[in-house]
Structure 1
Amino acid sequence: MATLSPLMVSSPLESGRGILLLLGGLFLFSVQDLILKSLSGNYPLYEAMILRGLTAMPIIAAMAWVEGGLRSLWTPGTLRMIGRGLTMFVAYTAYYIALPALPLATTVALYFSAPLFITVLSVLILKEHVGPRRWAAVTAGFTGVIIMVRPGAELFEWAALLPILSGLGYALAMIQARSLGRTESAAAMAFWGNAVFLALALAMAAVFGGGAFDGASHPSLAFLTRGWVSPSWTDAGLMAACGVIAAAGLVLLTQAYRIAESNVIAPFEYSAMIWGVLWGWLFFANWPDAQGWTGIFIIVGAGLYVAWRERVRKG
């Protein structure tokens, strides 16, 4: 995700536009989550990823052409962008295969451990300084994660670990993007990320497509290993729509972070929680229990505090 230099100060109008663009992008990605969760009981993940990738590729290529021509995709940083694509593939595959086993609100909330991981990784990898207040917020946030995962309880679901893995992978990808963003365009990073998604989804189809691993009883494993299923026109259209959504969402989020300061608009990323709760309630009759709400509020509160302290630190 592109971020602005701390030296760039956006006007109130630009900040407002950035917030609206961010909210629009997050809404689109929440619709993609809804579609994939709805399809997860009948199709394999790689099938949706292939159709999504094929649809998104020409859109992203057009973005690259507008930004600087297709030649701009081949740079000295190409291998590093492919490496970041691998990280993103692991992150989003873990997130997607959690969808059939968990309520949407739980999946989204656990994924929001990512800002906490970013804080930790910024110290370990970038050698940034983090003060005691932010460390306290990170500790509180991970306490919220533990509350939601419920280790040792009868209701423990191992798939709850997947969005946490996704959050860690996303955090690592964002750390990679901090250095890549100085020299590479958002379109180039999106292009190579999508190329990695498509290539690995095709590899998964080669392994699982014949149905040799059919029969998994757990919904997450079934979504990962199910054999190829010929989709109806409606379902194929929904899978392809995910590609359009992904490309459009990327444009909105990238533009949001280009015109407004990241420390102003980043807290609004938590609006995704609203859609996770709403879609789960409307389409799957899921509503968080008291323990779930407690974990959600702690994770979101900790993430917002970390974002606020980052804004204070940057002045």
Structure 2
Amino acid sequence: MRTSSTTLGILYLIAGIAIFSVQDLILKLLSGSYPLHQAMVLRSLTAIPCLLVITKLMDGTLRGLVSPTWPLMLVRGVLNFLAYTAYYLALAALPMATTVALYFTAPLMITLLSALVLKERVSPRRWLALAAGFAGVVIMVQPGGDLFDWAALLPIFCGAAYAGSMVAARIMGVRDSAAALAFWGNIAFLLCAAALALVYGTGAHEGAGHASLAFLTRGWVWPTTQDALLMCACGGIAAIGLTLLTQAYRIAANSVVAPFEFTFAFWGILWGWLFWGDLPNALGWLGITIIIGAGLYVVRADEPNEKAAPKGAA
């Protein structure tokens, strides 16, 4: 793997995580009043023209969208939809810090799948950095008693599905561009969200006491202008974020970029401070320091010794 590809992959991932955190914030704010499928339908519809523009800018043409592998890209999109749906349902019931901490099983699973499926060599240094980053997140968010809520299983499932999706991006990226993968992934989001809306949109199944189930089964609600704009804004956010994340795992070794998923914790701190007045305590800042150190360690440890890309990799 060329150093430039590795560096770009890391930068794409960090940028994608930062952009996606805004969508997480919006859906957390809306989760008490609207159903998830309503927000996802509006988000996916708005994302379509954004993704067409991104595809044109990145690929120079839209022809790449008409690919014989589009069914496989749809399947990958369904996997991604399951991952994000599980995460957002957990977000409705659990504190953001707890949800984020549990989601961070994803980098571990990505690294494991990269070794098993992609046959990437994962050095002891990378495993050490990954373990240190995960420890830093646990120290920082200090998850408490809410871990015993059954909804805590949702972000763990999210991590597994997300890992599978990003490893698939590495495999499929040999033939298809990041823009094409993101476009068909969004179409899968739209179809799945529309299916949920057909089942739950009327409100016939509404009334669940648990916050996660309520977020899933609540009937459609006519949104205020501000809330409608926020849902639609998620379309642009998702279009850019999905493309960046897909490109990161498409061009760089998954086991190298996966530890930088931990940077999502920083955005949880920022949004918590801006919207709820929360700031980390001494242990929280210690966790941040460990995460930064782990990320820098990966970069410094791998740059001089990067091997050639796996056969067939982009």
Q: TM-score, normalised by structure 2?
A: 0.79
Query: Which position in structure 2 is the counterpart of 1:58?
Result: 49
- Mapped partners of 1:298, 1:200: distance in 2: 38
AA aligned to 2:52 is A
Q: Give, in angstroms, the shift of residue 50 of structure 1.
A: 0.3
Question: Is the 8 Å Cα contact of residues 65 and 180 (structure 2) preserved in structure 1?
Answer: yes
In the TM superposition, what is the alpha-carbon distance from 1:17 to its structure 2 partner? 11
Q: Give the CA deviation at 1:27.
A: 2.8
Query: Is 1:176 aligned to 2:168, yes or no?
Result: yes
Mark the runs of 5 or more structure 1 residues left unpaired by the alignment: 1-5
The structural deviation recorded for 1:193 is 0.2
CA drift at 1:111 = 2.0
Q: Which residue, out of 2, 8, 21, partners 1:7?
A: 2
SS of the residue aligned with 1:9? helix
Q: Deviation at 1:76?
A: 2.5
Structure 2 SS opposite 1:217? coil
**RMSD of the alignment, in Å?**
3.9
Contact 2:94 2:146 in 1 (8 A): no
Runs of 5+ consecutive residues of structure 2 not aligned to the other structure: 308-314
Alpha-carbon displacement from aligned partner over 1:91-146 (angstroms, at most 9, x marks no partner):
11111111112222332232222111012112332344445555566667777899
Identity, in percent, stands at 57
C-alpha distance 258-134 of structure 1, shift in aligned 2 (>3 A): closer
Write out aligned runs for 1:23-34 (5 A): 23-34=14-25
Report if aligned partners of 2:45, 2:190 keep a CA contact under 8 Å in 1. yes
- In the alignment, the residues of structure 1 paired with residue 82 and residue 250 of structure 2 have an alpha-carbon distance, to the nearest angstrom, of 26
- The 1:86/1:312 distance shift into structure 2, 3 A limit, reads farther
Indicate conservation of the 8 Å contact 2:114/2:254, yes or no. Answer: no
Contact between 1:106 and 1:292, CA under 8 Å: does it hold in 2?
no
- 1:60 CA displacement: 0.8
Q: Do structure 1's residue 275 and structure 2's residue 270 form an aligned pair?
A: no
Aligned partners of 2:230, 2:28: CA distance in 1, in Å?
Answer: 12
| Structure 2 residue corresponding to 1:224, chosen from 208, 216, 222 | 216
User: Is the Cα–Cα contact under 8 Å of residues 15 and 261 in structure 1 kept in the other structure?
Assistant: no
Task: Provide the residue aligned with 2:310 in structure 1.
Answer: none
Does residue 201 of the first structure (1) align with residue 193 of the second (2)?
yes
Q: Which position in structure 1 is the counterpart of 2:152? A: 160
Structure 2 residue aligned with 1:89:
81
- Partner residue of 2:35 out of 18, 34, 44: 44
Question: 1:111 pairs with 103, 109, 122, which one?
Answer: 103
Count of paired positions: 305
**Aligned residue number for residue 192 of structure 1:** 184
Cα distance in 1, alignment partners of residues 218 and 195 from structure 2: 14
